[in-house]
């Protein structure tokens, strides 16, 4: 998704190494995608349309 838009940055975070950050966002299962510092959340590997919908919810919030 980052490849398609200059607005998007995507970071894969190793949850164990960055445990404090995982706890901050309440990550208990993986993959867990946090959008804009917690404005949106997607738990599990979901179809791209679901993630896109969450992104749009997060940016309008």
- Grouping H, G, I as helix, E, B as strand and the rest as coil, residue 30 is coil
Q: Footprint of other proteins on residues 9-48 (CB under 8 A)?
A: 9-18, 21-22, 25, 27, 30-37, 48
Q: How far apart are CA 43 and CA 33, in angstroms?
A: 6
How would you class 55 by CB atoms within 10 Å of its CB: exposed for 0-12, middle for 13-18, buried for 19 or more? buried
- Residue numbers at the binding site for other proteins (CB under 8 A): 1-18, 21-22, 25, 27, 30-37, 48-49, 52, 55-56, 58-59
């Amino acid at each position: 998704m980052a490849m398609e838009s200059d607005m998007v940055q995507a970071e894969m975070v190793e949850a164990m190494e960055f445990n404090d950050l995982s706890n901050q966002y309440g990550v208990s299962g993986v993959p867990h995608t946090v959008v804009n510092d917690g404005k949106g959340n997607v738990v599990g590997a979901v179809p791209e349309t679901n993630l896109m919908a969450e992104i749009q919810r997060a940016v309008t919030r």
